[in-house]
Structure 1
Amino acid sequence: MTEPGKQLPEEVLVLIFCHLPLRDRATATRVCRTWAAAATCSTVWHDTYISCSGEGESTLPPHLSTCLNHIHNLRLEFEPSRESSRREAIELLTALAAGRSQGLRGLRLECRGEKPLFDAGRDVLDAVHATCRTAGALRHLNLRRLPFTLDDALVLQVAQGCPELHSLFLDNETLVGSVGPGSVLKLLEACPRMDALGLHLASLSREALEALAALGRPPLQLLALRCACPEDARAPPLPDVAWAALRRRHPGLLVELELEPALSAESVTRVLQPSVPVAALRLSLSGDTVGPVRFAARHYASTLHFLEVRAAASSELDAALEELAARCPELREVHCFCVVRPSVLLAFRAHCPRLRSYTLKLTREPHPWRPTLVR
């Protein structure tokens, strides 16, 4: 502690204010000039998390609005079903779009709570449009926690306004896939530095895989695919030869696959290609799950790090999980949300030396099921 009458050095105050909630930073600016200078320092705002509580107070007090210029990475959380929280989020995005987003490098939007019924989120998406129109230095945009239908217009705006983009995640929880493959191709042409991409399956095409495999592009690190809506179930197959070419071009590529109940058994067969370097596989299918687990065991043994299975318990599923454990030594996490027999747990503990956590329950327990950490 400092002696009475003495101030902490500004650099120490800056470190403290970096960890304060937004409203506490605002309060700090009104204590004295020294605190005001430290609380408005660009370092304090470099990585900023804002939660729009909608409690009647302004999210960003007027005297701190200029600090938006200093934000490099923004994580913005709000409740779309609460009008006040939603309005705060839109106001903040609008303020960013009004000439204060030149330094913005990363933007991540997260919705909590329930999505309003029959709501398309047009007002929120319009604010995202406006922000992307002026954020020419934006490198990372994550919209996978927005429950609204994302469309071609948004992707084309991102392509036009954010040429420096390195990562874009559009694989959100929506029942309608409205981003066409043509828009994704234009995005890849406009953003040559893209190295991480999250999409719904219907948005990806063979031409996009070929564009990603083209010479001159930076190493593609992550491709996340969500298969959850009717458009994904009807999507044409992506040839294994195209995946093989992409894998040769980017040997470090990791693919995340999330397969939801909308996919039929035939669709699952089209999605699970042998040459896809699947690192994370989430299975929540209405039909057969045993087949996809066995397929993963036989074709993704060298790449699979994460497995999540939501299915009914059966001896066939237990056997498939034991086979996967024996074939996939690189596995770090396995989470199965049905009761399994003891031999399944023993198989993963014996054959997966890098296992960090697992959810493998031998008896039925009240939900939510908590994972077990491996020490």
Structure 2
Amino acid sequence: MAEPGEQLPEEVLALIFRHLPLRDRAAAARVCRAWAAAATCSTVWHNTNISCDCELEGIQPQYLSACLDHVQNLRLEFVPSREPSRLAAIELLTALAGRNPELRGLCLECRGEKRLFDSGRDVLDAVHALCRAARALRHLDLRRLPFTLDDALVLQVAHGCPELCSLFLDNSTLVGSVGPGSVLELLEACPCLRALGLHLASLSRTALEALAAPERAPFELLALRCACPEDARASPLPNEAWAELSRRHPGLAVELELEPALPAESVTRVLQPAVPVAALRLSLSGDTVGPVRFAARHYAATLRALEVRAAASAELDAALEELAERCAGLREVHCFCVVRPSVLHAFRTHCSRLRSYTLKLTREPHPWRPALVA
């Protein structure tokens, strides 16, 4: 430990400062020259989280500007319904684009509600500009943007970021506007892509075949969200295409999220036996028992996480017990309705790898917190 009056080495200070929020980093930079040097060195800024809602106020623009060149992975939060927060996010993205950054990863996260009738065009324009400039971008996560993403954005990413490794577009929009053709072009332009999140309507048999091509690099994760009318009308993806994809990439994990917009007939088209489902989230307006039983009988070897939002019933309890007996590899199960004690006993008995669960035997005030298995 340093003696009174003795200055810690810059590398030690940098190690400390990299764990501080943005506002505290800025405050540290004003203490003395040694701290200013440590607070602005590149290692402090490689992985940065910024909240535009609370952290940027009072920070000197020249301080932030001097550090932008060092940011490699950025997680940016903002509240679209608050104009200062929204404008700060746009300004920051635009500033990054204007500096030809060495950005490797970008995650955008909206908090609160978006403004009524707000399409988010100004935010998405800033993302476009950044993708044109950040050719070294490898990871782009837009799952928490409540705006409609479109073909133009996907094509910009495809041709502007050839080293892309992961892209998540499976957000909470009510309209699916990314066509299968754009996704296919993305796969052709980004041979290193190994993780992809989409709405179901954006995926096609041709895309599955492209992913299964012999020259394709190992593909690890496909996250599919079925939540908008376009997803309900999407063409079925045949079981044989899934089987070929699984053979080509034996380590592939598929995450399926089925929401109320999906009618029963669409659910049966989505749940194909050969899909290597690792995570299944069911929040359906219709039958939930059938999909749970289907998962128990076809996804026993791959299923690791299950989330169910449905009305309590004896039939659902029986289906959950069957799933517990068959899916020994489950690590998480979260059921947001009251279940009978035998359901909890089944998961605790048969699923030795279970790490957390939400299985309530009586009604409790929300939010329900999961129980952790020691």
Instruction: Identify whether the pair has TM-score above 0.5, normalized to the shorter chain.
Output: yes
Q: Which amino acid aligns with 2:7?
A: Q
Contact 1:167 1:197 in 2 (8 A): yes
Note the 1:2-13 alignment, pairs <5 A.
2-13=2-13
Structure 1 stretches of 4+ moved >3 Å: none
Note the 1:36-55 alignment, pairs <5 A.
36-53=36-53
Structure 2 gap segments, 5+ residues each: none
Secondary structure in structure 1 of the residue aligned to 2:278: strand
Partner of 2:271: 272
Q: Which amino acid aligns with 2:17?
A: F
The reply to whether residue 181 of structure 1 matches residue 180 of structure 2 is: yes
| CA RMSD, 1 decimal | 1.1
Secondary structure in structure 1 of the residue aligned to 2:99: helix
Q: Tell me, in whole angstroms, the C-alpha distance in 2 between the residues paired with 1:310 and 1:192.
A: 37
Secondary structure in structure 1 of the residue aligned to 2:85: helix
State the Cα distance separating 1:4 from its structure 2 match.
2.9
Pair 5,54 (structure 1): closer, same or farther in 2 beyond 3 Å: closer
Pair 100,37 (structure 1): closer, same or farther in 2 beyond 3 Å: farther
Tell which deviates more after alignment, 320-329 or 109-118. Answer: 109-118
Q: Which amino acid aligns with 1:65?
A: S
Among all aligned residue pairs of Structure 1 and Structure 2, give the percentage whose two residues are the same amino acid. Answer: 81
State the Cα distance separating 1:257 from its structure 2 match.
0.1
State the Cα distance separating 1:3 from its structure 2 match.
2.5
State the Cα distance separating 1:56 from its structure 2 match.
7.5
Secondary structure in structure 2 of the residue aligned to 1:107: strand
Partner of 1:254: 253
Q: Tell me, in whole angstroms, the C-alpha distance in 2 between the residues paired with 1:117 and 1:177.
A: 19
Secondary structure in structure 2 of the residue aligned to 1:266: helix
The reply to whether residue 334 of structure 1 matches residue 333 of structure 2 is: yes
Structure 1 gap segments, 5+ residues each: none
Q: Tell me, in whole angstroms, the C-alpha distance in 2 between the residues paired with 1:236 and 1:269.
A: 12
Q: Tell me, in whole angstroms, the C-alpha distance in 2 between the residues paired with 1:59 and 1:123.
A: 23
Q: Which amino acid aligns with 2:61?
A: P
Partner of 1:353: 352
Secondary structure in structure 2 of the residue aligned to 1:70: coil
Q: Which amino acid aligns with 2:41?
A: C
User: Could you give the per-residue CA deviations for residues 140-188 of structure 1, whole angstroms, max 9, x where no partner exists?
Assistant: 0000000000000100100111000000000000100000000000111
Pair 122,60 (structure 1): closer, same or farther in 2 beyond 3 Å: farther
Secondary structure in structure 1 of the residue aligned to 2:142: strand
Secondary structure in structure 2 of the residue aligned to 1:308: strand
Q: Tell me, in whole angstroms, the C-alpha distance in 1 between the residues paired with 2:128 and 2:35.
A: 35
Secondary structure in structure 2 of the residue aligned to 1:339: coil
Q: Tell me, in whole angstroms, the C-alpha distance in 1 between the residues paired with 2:355 and 2:231.
A: 32
The reply to whether residue 65 of structure 1 matches residue 65 of structure 2 is: yes
Secondary structure in structure 2 of the residue aligned to 1:77: strand
What TM-score does the superposition give when structure 1 sets the normalisation length? 0.98
Note the 1:286-301 alignment, pairs <5 A.
286-301=285-300
Q: Which amino acid aligns with 2:73?
A: N
State the Cα distance separating 1:55 from its structure 2 match.
7.5
State the Cα distance separating 1:116 from its structure 2 match.
1.2
The reply to whether residue 224 of structure 1 matches residue 223 of structure 2 is: yes
Q: Which amino acid aligns with 1:242?
A: A
State the Cα distance separating 1:218 from its structure 2 match.
1.1
User: Could you give the per-residue CA deviations for residues 18-48 of structure 1, whole angstroms, max 9, x where no partner exists?
Assistant: 0111122122222222111111111000100
User: Could you give the per-residue CA deviations for residues 113-152 of structure 1, whole angstroms, max 9, x where no partner exists?
Assistant: 1111111000000000000000000000000000000000
Partner of 1:214: 213
Q: Tell me, in whole angstroms, the C-alpha distance in 2 between the residues paired with 1:111 and 1:76.
A: 9
Contact 2:26 2:59 in 1 (8 A): no
Partner of 1:282: 281
Partner of 2:76: 76
Secondary structure in structure 1 of the residue aligned to 2:3: coil
What TM-score does the superposition give when structure 2 sets the normalisation length? 0.98
Q: Tell me, in whole angstroms, the C-alpha distance in 1 between the residues paired with 2:108 and 2:64.
A: 21
Q: Tell me, in whole angstroms, the C-alpha distance in 2 between the residues paired with 1:113 and 1:258.
A: 22
Pair 59,148 (structure 1): closer, same or farther in 2 beyond 3 Å: farther
Q: Between Structure 1 and Structure 2, how many residues are aligned?
A: 374
User: Could you give the per-residue CA deviations for residues 58-101 of structure 1, whole angstroms, max 9, x where no partner exists?
Assistant: 66621331211111100000101100000110000000100242
Partner of 1:88: 88
Q: Tell me, in whole angstroms, the C-alpha distance in 2 between the residues paired with 1:120 and 1:64.
A: 29
The reply to whether residue 154 of structure 1 matches residue 153 of structure 2 is: yes
Secondary structure in structure 2 of the residue aligned to 1:255: strand
Q: Tell me, in whole angstroms, the C-alpha distance in 2 between the residues paired with 1:52 and 1:232.
A: 33
